Structure 1
C-alpha cells in the first residue's frame, strides 16, 4: 500500500449510521439555538449526553472496538457479525480474549473502556500523572485496568505503544502516525454520524450554517466533520478549526506544509492539549479548505462559563468552538445572514 493511500480518509459513514441505529442507547443528539453576544443566534450541536458517556467520543472508540472484533471474527470464522450476534455467548467468549490498549487525557479512554465492556472485551488505559485520579475511578467503573505512565500525555502514549508491542493487546489510539493509521480511521468514521445527523436537520429546514467552528486536539473530530461537510452538505460553510494557543499543532502543520509538533505549556483545554497532530486528520483538513483560529486559556474558560450559564454545562475543551466564535465576532462584522454553528463536545468533567 502506498503511503498516500494509508493517510487517505474515505469513511463508510452509512456503515457507521447503520451500526449506531442498531444500538439501544443511540439517539440523535440535540441541535439547539442559543444566543451569542450581540443577540446573534448560534446553532449548537450538544454532545454533552451522547450515549451515556457525556462526550462525542462515545461514537469513536466503541465503534472502533466493534469494527475490530467484527473484522477479526470474519477472518477466523468466515461470518459477518450482526449487532444481535455480537451478544451471543461464543462471540463474547472470543471478545473476552481480546484487550484494547490506549493512552488517554480524557474522553477517548472512556470510549475504549466502555466499548470493550459493552462487547465483553478488556481495556487497559495508560494515564499520565497530569490526569486527575477521579478519571481513573471513572475508567475502573467500566472494568478497565488503569496504568499510570509518565508525567505528560506524550509519555503515556509511548507507554501504550510499548504495551501493545510487547503483548497481544490491540492499540486503539485516536491519533495517527507513520505506520499506524487504519484503526484510528474507524474512530473517525464513528464521528461522521454527528455531521450526518446535522445534515439531515438542515436539509429538512433548508437553512444551513454559514460558519462552522470545529475544536481540535489531534484533529480526529474536526477532520471527520470537515470531510462530511465537504462531501454532502448542500450549502458549504466556512470551516474554522479551533486549537489552544498552547497546543496549535494543526495550525503549525498547515504553516509548515507537513505534520509538525507545537510545544507549549499545559492547557486548561485538556482534551485539546495535543502537541502533535494525527497525520490522517491533518491531511484530511488540508484538502477541506479550512482556516485556523487559536484561543487562550482565559478565552476558553470564559467560553465554558458562558455556555454553562446558558444551561449547557461544559468545559473549556467543550466550549472552545464557542470561544473562537466570540473572539472572531469583531472581525467578522456579522450581518443577518451570519449563521454560525458550534459543537459542545463534552459535558462537565
Structure 2
C-alpha cells in the first residue's frame, strides 16, 4: 500500500448503516432546534443518548470490532458473517479468543468495551491519569480491564501500542499514524451514520444548515462528517472545525501543510485534548475545504453551561460546536438566514 492509499478515506457508509439498523439498541438520534444568542436557531444533533453509551463513539469502535471479527472469520472459514451470526455459539467462541486494546480519553474506550462485550470478546483500556475515575468505573461495568498508563493521553496511547505488540491483542485506536490506518478508518466509517441520518432529515424538511461546526480531537468524527457532507448533501454548508487552543493539532497541521503536533497545557475539553492529529482525518479535512477555530477554556466551559441550560446536559467537549457558533459572525453569505448545525457529542455524566 502506498502512502497516498493509506491516507485515502472512502468509507462504505451503506455497510455501516445496514449493520446498525439490525441492532436492537439503534435509533436515529434526535435533532433539536435550540434558540441561541440573538434568537438564532441552532440545529443540534443530540448524541448524548446514543445506543446507551451516551456519546457518538457508540457508532465507531463497536462497528470496527464487528468488522475486525468478520475479516478474521472470513480468512479462517471463507464465510462472511451476517449480523445474526455474531450471536451464534461458534462465532462467539471464536470472538472470545480476541482481546481489543486501546487508549482512551473516555468515550472511545467505552465503545471498544461495549463492542467487545457484545461480541463475546475481551477489552483492555489504557487510561491516562487525567481521565476521571467515573469513566474507569463505567468501563469495568462493561467487563473491560482498565489499566492506568501515563500522566497524559499521548503516554496512554504509547502504552496501548506496546501492549498490543507484546500481548498479541488487537489494537483498536481511533487515531491514525504512519503504518496504522486501516482499522481506524472502520471506526470513522461508523461515524458516517450520523451524517446520513442528518441528510435524510434535511432532505425531508428542506431546512438545510448554512454552517456545520465540528469538534475535533484527533479528527475522526469531524473528518467522517466532512467527507459525507461533501459527498452527498444536496446543499453545501460551510464547515468549521473547532479545537481547544491547548490542542489545536488540526489547525496547526493545516498551517504547516502536513500533520503536525500541537503541544500545550492540559485542556478541560478532555475528549478533545489530543496533541497529534489522525493523519487520515487530517487529509480528509484538507480535501473537504474546512476552516478552523481554536477555543479558549473559558469559551468551552461557557458553551457547556449554555447548551445544558438549553436542555441538553453536556460537557465542554460535547458543546464545543456551540462555542464555535458563538465565535462566528451571526450572518450567512448573501443575506441568507444563519442556520448553524452542531453535534452535541456526549452527555454530562
**1:188 aligned onto 2:188:** yes
Secondary structure, aligned partner of 1:329: coil
Counterpart residue number, 1:82: 82
Counterpart residue number, 1:140: 140
Counterpart residue number, 2:172: 172
Counterpart residue number, 1:293: 293
Cα 1:315–1:333 shift into 2, 3 Å: farther
Find the aligned partners of 1:200 and 1:332 in 2 and give their Cα distance: 23
Q: TM-score, normalised by structure 1?
A: 0.98
**1:317 aligned onto 2:317:** yes
Deviation string 1:69-124 (CA, Å, 9 cap, x unpaired) is 01100110111111111000010001000000000111000000000000000000
Q: TM-score, normalised by structure 2?
A: 0.98
- By how many angstroms is 1:331 displaced? 7.8
Find the aligned partners of 1:277 and 1:146 in 2 and give their Cα distance: 24
Counterpart residue number, 1:156: 156
Find the aligned partners of 1:133 and 1:208 in 2 and give their Cα distance: 40
Find the aligned partners of 2:308 and 2:69 in 1 and give their Cα distance: 38
Find the aligned partners of 2:252 and 2:215 in 1 and give their Cα distance: 15
Superposition pairs of residues 13-92 of structure 1, within 5 angstroms: 13-92=13-92
Find the aligned partners of 2:240 and 2:22 in 1 and give their Cα distance: 33
Secondary structure, aligned partner of 2:9: coil
Tell whether the 8 Å contact from 2:331 to 2:338 is kept in structure 1 after alignment.
no
Find the aligned partners of 1:276 and 1:45 in 2 and give their Cα distance: 26
Deviation string 1:264-297 (CA, Å, 9 cap, x unpaired) is 0100100000000000000000000100011110
Find the aligned partners of 1:114 and 1:209 in 2 and give their Cα distance: 33
Runs (5+) with no aligned partner, structure 1: none
Superposition pairs of residues 317-336 of structure 1, within 5 angstroms: 317-329=317-329
Superposition pairs of residues 158-307 of structure 1, within 5 angstroms: 158-307=158-307
Secondary structure, aligned partner of 1:235: coil
Secondary structure, aligned partner of 1:194: helix
**1:112 aligned onto 2:112:** yes
- By how many angstroms is 1:329 displaced? 3.1
**1:100 aligned onto 2:62:** no
Cα 1:336–1:287 shift into 2, 3 Å: closer
Find the aligned partners of 2:136 and 2:330 in 1 and give their Cα distance: 41
Find the aligned partners of 2:205 and 2:348 in 1 and give their Cα distance: 31
Secondary structure, aligned partner of 1:143: coil
Deviation string 1:146-199 (CA, Å, 9 cap, x unpaired) is 111111111110000000001120000000000000000000000000000000
Tell whether the 8 Å contact from 2:64 to 2:183 is kept in structure 1 after alignment.
yes
Tell whether the 8 Å contact from 2:177 to 2:278 is kept in structure 1 after alignment.
yes
Find the aligned partners of 2:132 and 2:217 in 1 and give their Cα distance: 19
Find the aligned partners of 1:330 and 1:24 in 2 and give their Cα distance: 40
Find the aligned partners of 1:41 and 1:178 in 2 and give their Cα distance: 42
Find the aligned partners of 2:26 and 2:65 in 1 and give their Cα distance: 16
Counterpart residue number, 2:122: 122
Counterpart residue number, 1:340: 340
Cα 1:234–1:135 shift into 2, 3 Å: same
Find the aligned partners of 1:216 and 1:132 in 2 and give their Cα distance: 20
Find the aligned partners of 2:299 and 2:167 in 1 and give their Cα distance: 43
Secondary structure, aligned partner of 1:265: coil
